Every structure is written in C-alpha cells, then in structure tokens.
Structure 1
Amino acid sequence: MNILDLGETHIHWREDGDPAGAPVVFSNSLGTDLRLWDKIVPMMPPGLRLIRYDTRGHGLSACPAGAYSMGALIRDAERLLDALAVKDCVFVGLSLGGLIAQGLAVKRLDLVRAMVLSNTAAKIGTAQMWADRVEKVRTHGIEAIADGMMERWFTRRFRETPELKGWRAMLTGTPVDGYTGCSSAIAGTDFITPTSGLALPTLAIAGSDDGATPADLVRETADLVRGSRFHLIRGVGHLPPVEKPDDYAKVLAGFLHDIGHTAG
C-alpha cells in the first residue's frame, strides 16, 4: 500500500509495470476507486510505468469534510506526479478523472504529454443538478441514488451479471463527504474555454449507452482540442473499462503506440 502524505490530506496510489518505463496515469470516476482499471492494467503493452491513484474522498485516500474544488483535485494529482518524479505522462481520466486531466494539462503541460478523455466532458451537468444530488445524498445516503447510477453506468446485459453487486457496493461504500465533495467540484467546473486552448495528442472515448456523459457530449469535448481523435465503444455504458475491457485496452494501446509512448 502506497500513501503519499500531503499534510492536509493523503493520497493512495499504486504502481504496476516497468518503473523505468514511459508513464501512464489513470484517474477514476466519481463513486469508484483505482480498481476501476483492474482489467485494463494487465492488458497494457510491456515497458510502461502504470500509475493509479484514488481521488480524494474515494478508496483509501483521505476524505476531508466539506465541498472540494476542482483546483484541489487537480493539485492532488499534480503533487502526486511531482512526488513520483513523473514527467510527460499520458493521463487517462474517466468522467471526473477526465476533468482532472483537462485541468492538469492546462496547468502543467510539463507533466502531461497526451491525455485520454474517457466518458467525460469539459462541463458535466448543471450546477442545479449537482446541488440536487448532493442534497439527496446528504439526506438519504448514497443508497438512495445507487440503482439510478447503475443504470447510467452499465447496460442492462451487464446489470444482470453477478459482477454488478461489486460495483454497486463500491459506490455505496464511498464516504458521503467524498462523494458530495467531488460532486461539488464537478458542479463548479466549466473547462470549455481552457480546454479549447489545448493542443496535445488527445483520445476521447465514449460509450454508446452512457447515461451520464452521452457520446455526443464526449465528441463535443474532443472537438475542442486540436488534432484529437474520437472513439465510440458500442454496447457499453459509463464505465467501458469494466464492461468491455478488451475493446478499451485495444484502443488505448493503439493510441499509446501511435503517439510513440510505447516501445516498438
């Protein structure tokens, strides 16, 4: 277990692959933790340094009380990469992680040479939508939104498998302060203008049945970044690394190869 002590908080992280390899950093979505990438990591090409971490308020990272700002979440990622002496990584962010990717690329282009914006957007939802969700979770707990979230996250076929129980448990096991804190960060984020100023290799990945960040929204965000590419994975919801890991790993590995981030 690796814990980075940042003083006012701490971040849980994990490293796989080649410690001397080109770095790829994975950032999880709201209501999940670094296990989101469990199926993907073993399918990555050899020779890569694969770093995952739990966003604050999730997994084994600290869960400060109160609303979080997107700036704080970006700063957590920045300080983690600085502590691990990471430069020129490919930053792979899903949903909330995709917002962190955009903000980190704007702030510290020395850290990010390319990004993968998975099932995300430059602006996700409305402030009122997030305020309503925060109030519901604060009042009734995450259990009150769990079934609806499973419908957004996964297709009906996946929801009929035993694996769904594990993901539902991960969501409902997220601390309320962590879930609502990160929800507040998303509510206050609009990266349309800063992201439109980026020009770095970018892959946007969408799921055809994503009920949280529909494919058209992901495509619109991809179009903000000059030279980006867009890939639609059919038959998946909001978490394609879980539903169709083979397809996800293939398109990710292809992108890494095309931008020269892998050997051979």
Structure 2
Amino acid sequence: MHIADLGEVQLHYRIDGDPDGAPMVFANSLGTDLRLWDAVLPLLPDGLRLIRYDKRGHGLSSAPPAPYSMGALVRDAELLLDHLKVRDCLFVGLSIGGMIAQGLAVKRMDLVRAMVLSNTAAKIGTAEMWNDRIAAIEAGGIESLADPVMERWFSKSFRASPDLALWRNMLVRQPAVGYVGCSAAISGTDFMTPTSGLRLPTLGIAGDQDGSTPPDLVRETVDLVPGSQFHLIRGAGHLPCVENPVEYAEVLTRFLRETGHV
C-alpha cells in the first residue's frame, strides 16, 4: 500500500504483479475501494503491472470537501499515472471508473492505449436523480440508501448470500463526503460527444441484472467507439467482477491478448 501526494489530494494505491510489466490500471465504482478487484487480479496472466487506486473520498485516499467535478477525478488519475511514470496502459474502469477512463483517454492519449468500460456509460442518470441521492445522504447518511444500492449492484441470488454483508459494509463505511462529491461529478458529466471521437481498442462489459447501468446503456456508450467489442455477463449485476470473477478475468485476458498487451 502506498500514498501518492498529488497536492490537492492524497491517493492510496497498490501495485501487484510484475513491476516491469505492461501497465494495467483499475478504477473502481462509486461506494467501493480498490478491493473491488481482489478476486479478478489473481486470475489474470503473468507479466502485468497491476495498478489499483482509491479515488478521492474513497477507501484510504483523502476526502477533499464536496462537490467534485469529473475533471478533478480525471486529473487525479492523470497525476497518479504521471507520478508512477505510466504510459500506454490498458485502463479498466467500472461505473464512475469507466467515466474516468473515457475522460482520461480523451485528455491523454499517451497514457491510455486501450480501455475497458465496465458497467458504465458516457452519461449515467439525470441531475435530478443524483441531487435526490445527495439530499438523502446529507439527511440520513449512506446507510439510508444502502439496501436499494445493494439491489442495483447485485443479482437476487448474490443478495441471498452471506457475502452481501462485505459489500454493504464497504459501501456504508465510505466517507459520506466522498460519495456525495463523486455523485455530483457523475451528475455533471455527459461524455457522449468526446467519447465518440475516441479511436482506441475498447471493450464494454455489462451484467444482465445491472440496475445501475443496464446492458443497453453500456452498449450505447461502447458503440460510440468504432471497432469496439461488447460482452454480457449473465446472472450478474453492477459488479460482475465480484459475482463472476472467473468469466470477468477470462474476458479481460482475451482482450489483453487481442490488443497485444500481454
């Protein structure tokens, strides 16, 4: 575990795998920390430099006052990769992490050579929806939204398992300021036009039971990039890397090999 002091924010990050390998960067979803990828990473091929981080207001990273902008979240990722001297990475972003991936690919073509847009979109929800969620958290904390969030995140069968408690606990223990700040960033983001200008290898992943970013929404965004691929994981919700890490890792591995990244 390490902290990168980027001035305005201090980001917690972790590097696994081969320190000299091809870089693969993971950005997690709203309300989770870098442990989101724990089950997937051991299933990936050898020879990769696996970089994970907690975005601002999440996990062990610092939590500046809300609201945040998507530009600030993209800049955080940019500064972290510059700090780590990363170039030409394969960037995997889930949910808000996928929005960060799109923004970073548009801003810094030297940093991102290929991207995976998992359970995400160029635009997620409406400003009214996010404002209502922010107001609910400010009134009753993240706990007040935890059960509806679990329904959107996971399939019915997973919600019946004891493991649900791990992810519910992770959600409610995130700093409220971080959740509110990142919610504001999502609310103000529409990447339809800039993402449509991207020309890089792109893979979209969706869960057929995702209540946050349904498959059609993910596909609509992925289709903005010519030559992109799309994979649907059945029986999974918003976090298929948790519900079906084996299939998720297989899809990533195939994309890694097709793009010559491993």
What is the letter of the counterpart of residue 159 of structure 1?
A: R
Answering whether residue 30 of structure 2 is matched by residue 30 of structure 1, we say yes
Q: Residue 12 of structure 2 aligns to a residue in which SS?
A: strand
User: In structure 2, what is the equivalent of residue 144 of structure 1?
Assistant: 144
Q: Quick one: distance in 1 between partners of 2:5 and 2:219?
A: 37
Partner of 1:195: 195
One-letter code aligned to 2:57: G
SS of 1:93's equivalent in the other structure is: strand
Give the 3-state SS of the residue equivalent to 2:198 in structure 1: coil
In the TM superposition, what whole-angstrom CA distance separates every residue of 1:134-177 from its partner, at most 9, and x where no partner exists? 00001111011000000000011101111100100000001110
SS at match of 1:52: strand
- Whole-angstrom CA distance in 2 between matches of 1:42 and 1:248: 12
Q: Does 1:8 align with 2:44?
A: no
Runs of 4+ aligned residues of structure 1 deviating over 2 Å after TM superposition are: none
- Counterpart CA distance in 1 for 2:8 and 2:101 is 22
Q: Distance in 1 between matches of 2:173 and 2:65?
A: 16
1:162-177 equivalence runs, <5 A = 162-177=162-177
- SS of the equivalent of 1:55 reads coil
In the TM superposition, what is the alpha-carbon distance from 1:114 to its structure 2 partner? 0.3
* Cα displacement string for residues 24-71 of structure 1 (whole angstroms, at most 9, x for unaligned residues): 000000000100000011111000000000010000000011200000
Aligned positions of 1:79-158 closer than 5 A: 79-158=79-158
SS of equivalent residue, structure 1 residue 158: helix
Q: How many residues align?
A: 262
Q: Which residue pairs with 1:47 in the alignment? A: 47
In the aligned structure 1, how far is the partner of 2:194 from the partner of 2:201? 16
**Secondary structure of the corresponding residue to residue 137 of structure 1:** helix
Q: Distance in 1 between matches of 2:83 and 2:101?
A: 18
Query: SS of the counterpart of 1:32?
Result: coil
SS state of the match for residue 130, structure 2? helix
Is 2:229 aligned against 1:229? yes
How far apart, in 2, do the equivalents of 1:25 and 1:37 lie? 11
Identity of aligned residues (%): 68
Q: Give the whole-Å Cα distance in 1 for the aligned partners of 2:253 and 2:105.
A: 21
Matched with 2:242 is: 242
Match of 1:70 in 2: 70
SS at match of 1:51: strand
Q: Report the alpha carbon displacement of residue 8 of structure 1 after superposing the two structures with TM.
A: 1.9
Q: 2:47 & 2:98 partners in 1: Cα distance?
A: 24
CA distance in 1, matches of 2:196, 2:66: 31
Aligned counterparts of 2:252 and 2:237: Cα–Cα separation in 1:
17
Q: CA deviation at 1:9?
A: 1.3
User: Structure 1: how far apart are the matches of 2:9 and 2:104?
Assistant: 19
1:210 aligns with 2:210: yes
- AA at the equivalent of 1:104: L
State the secondary structure of the residue aligned to 2:139: helix
Question: d(CA) in 1 for partners of 2:221 and 2:230?
Answer: 10
The residue aligned with 2:261 is: 261
